[in-house]
Every structure is written in structure tokens, then in C-alpha cells.
Amino acid sequence: MVKHKLQLDPAVREEARRRLLSIRGHVEGILRMLESEDVYCVDALRQIKAVQGALDKVGELVLRSHLKDHVVTAHQRGDVEAIVEELMEVLKYR
């Protein structure tokens, strides 16, 4: 574990929240779509894929911020091993 007071950049945190609010709305849209017995599988798959894409963007945002603010300074802080391993874990099948 990284011993830290490492925190997500406030502006990125705000942008991530904004996007996740929109993602929640999108999920609710799929929920409504699935109330209809006429829904077609591929239309549901397309919506799920769109939400995945939107989540990818949030992940990208947070990842870039983490790299810039915390990973590039790990050597100076002395927590290289922990920073790298937790990052590798989270990058698997992103």
C-alpha cells in the first residue's frame, strides 16, 4: 500500500463527478429502455457499450492526473514499488 496523503486533483475530481453524473443518467436511460418488452438486444448492447466508452474517458482523466501528480514524483517520495504495482493492477484489462 502507498502510504500517502496523495489526493486526486480537485479540478479533475470535479470533472470526473460531472461525467459520472451523466453516466448515471445514461444507466437510468438503459433501465427505462429495458422496461419495454420490445427492446432489441443489439440496441441494449449499443447503450452498454456507450456507457463503457464514457467510463473509459473518466478513467483516462483520473489516470492522466495520477500519472502527472503522483507517479512521476514517486522516486523522490520513495514509494516506487507500491506506486508501480498498484498502477499495474489497475491497468489490467482496462
CB of 39 to its own copies, least distance (A): 5
Distance of alpha carbon 79 from alpha carbon 71, whole angstroms: 9
Could you tell me the CA-to-CA distances from 69 to 4, 28, 41, 62, 93 in Å, in that order?
13, 34, 42, 10, 23
Q: What are phi and psi of 78, to 5 degrees?
A: 85, 25
The distance of closest approach from Cβ of residue 3 to its own copies in the complex, given in angstroms and rounded to an integer, is 11
CB of 86 to its own copies, least distance (A): 5
Contact footprint for its own copies (CB under 8 A) = 2, 4-8, 10, 13, 16-17, 20-21, 23-24, 27-28, 30-31, 34-35, 37-42, 44-46, 48-49, 51-52, 55-56, 58-60, 62-76, 80, 83-84, 86-88, 90-91, 93-94
